[in-house]
Amino acid sequence: MSVLIVTGTSTDVGKTVVTAALAAAALAAGRSVAVCKPAQTGVAPGEPGDLAQVQRLGGVTRTLELARYPDPLAPDTAARRCGRPLLTLAETAAGIESLADADLTLVEGAGGLLVRLGDFTVLDLAQKLNAAVLVVAAAGLGTLNHSELTTRTLAASGVRCAGLVIGSWPAAPDLAAECNRDDLPAVTGVDVVGSIPAGAGGWESGDFALGAQRWFESSWTARYLG
């Protein structure tokens, strides 16, 4: 089973769109793809969540959501507020392992690396599955600190970082964004392996799928997706 976990340096950095782009690029490379979102928050029952966007943009049809909570909070807090049981590490790992017949299983976390999805964090899940973690980072001010904190934690925990992806690269990047793109590898020791154009989440699925094939470094795509 090949599992790649997608986390962020914080919330709203573009994890869902990056996950969709990874799925589209892997499908274009001829691989079968499944996507798991262990915990979805801030979405009512019956409403489309992050996996619906991954399906629309990335073209993946096999998805798994293990828990959903209405409040837009960290999953463990949202679960307690609505009186539902917390997800456990064991049941989440088992759910992901149920997708093992796919060539590639993408797992989208919630928020950052140490946000609790239940009684565990994304970091705990990566250790349990022995999976690499791809870090989605912002382009602007603050991203160097957030990215280094995340990659240092991965390294200290013995979890392989698959790279950094800038989740929303502006059409007209300012000085901070331009400098950050050069400085991120220097401060983290991790390569920037892709970037997603700002607003790509609103594209038509066909245009998105074509774009996804060029948003990641080709050598990285061959290693992890192709």
Query: Would the pLDDT of 1 be above 90?
Result: no
Reported pTM:
0.96
The CATH T-level fold of domain 3-224 is Rossmann fold (3.40.50)
Give the mean model confidence (pLDDT) for residues 72-77.
96
Query: Would the pLDDT of 168 be above 80?
Result: yes
Q: Are 167 and 137 in contact (CB under 8 A)?
A: yes
pLDDT for 137-161, tens place per residue? 999 999 999 999 999 999 999 999 9
Is 15 a catalytic site residue?
Answer: no
Give the mean model confidence (pLDDT) for residues 160-164.
98
Three-state DSSP string of 112-145: ECCCECECCEHHHHHHHHCCEEEEEECCCCCHHH
Q: Decide the pairing of beta strands 62-69 and 33-41.
A: parallel
Q: Decide the pairing of beta strands 132-137 and 104-112.
A: unpaired
CA distance 158 to 176: 31
Q: Which of 3, 17, 37, 109 is catalytic?
A: 37
pLDDT for 116-142, tens place per residue? 999 999 999 999 999 999 999 999 999
Work out the pLDDT band at 9, boundaries 50, 70, 90: very high
pLDDT score at 226: 78
pLDDT for 172-225, tens place per residue? 999 999 999 999 999 999 999 999 999 999 999 999 999 999 999 999 999 999
Q: Which of 220, 215, 185, 183 is nearest to 197 (CA)?
A: 215
Work out the pLDDT band at 112, boundaries 50, 70, 90: very high
DSSP the chain: --EEEEEESSSSSSHHHHHHHHHHHHHHTT--EEEEEEEEES--TTS--HHHHHHHHH---EEEEEEEESSSS-HHHHHHHHTPPPB-HHHHHHHHHTTTTSSEEEEEEEEETT-BSBSSBHHHHHHHHT-EEEEEE-SSTTHHHHHHHHHHHHHHTTPPEEEEEEEEE-SS--HHHHHHHHHHHHHHS--EEEEEETTGGGS-HHHHHHHHTTSB-HHHHHHHT-
pLDDT for 85-103, tens place per residue? 999 999 999 999 999 999 9
Give the mean model confidence (pLDDT) for residues 18-35.
97
pLDDT score at 218: 95
